[in-house]
Chains A and B, each alone.
Chain A
């Protein structure tokens, strides 16, 4: 049974990693695409319609970035819980020496860096077109 639980936990960790990767890549890709579109709008003589389109894209960036940030925060918490369970299991089995608990803090740091990357590309995508205008 313990083997099944172990498989379940490692499976969950894999799914979690894939979901977080999708969140990060989607947010950064969308931010860069929107930066290009909005900068293009600004370069042409901005009419009222173009301004509305620009603000719509800004709203899209904000929503997607917030969704990605929440997803990453939740993903980090989920990973921590799963790894804690895994560590406890290893301790019960007497093999905890093979798994360094400091990996938990390394994962936290990595998630914070991902969130920072998403936040800053989002900020650039929002602010730069307005500065160019």
Chain B
């Protein structure tokens, strides 16, 4: 098989079971790090992070059945720093039906890359109140950060090329190598 045959073909790096196990582990780590779930709120980033945020919250609520942790969704597209540089499509709207002031907010996203989405999310979050602390959970950390941002909880560290495509769903995580000379 030639090297070119692998280009543009998705390659599985986490199976559905791996993803599920990573979510269970992250849920435990969040509870452990915060010594319980007092004042905890989970916020998924639209759109890739919302299903993970819901899965983590469900898991946390199963482990700690005493209190229910609230979960919200945040759309950061209007807080991005590349508005006007690349086309923006607003796919989903923000839904945070609780006050964030004083809460410990865990931001959840699928893939951490340049860190620019997380920067926009931290700015957007401030419009809903002043959290006591903000933590970051991601399913995949693929490196290539352009800002001083580091995750607190990681499903898997995945070394990538800058132009690779990484897709993360509940069915698994796949990486597609893009040959830039073919573009």
Q: Do A and B share a complex? A: no
Residues of A at the B interface (CB closer than 8 Å) are none
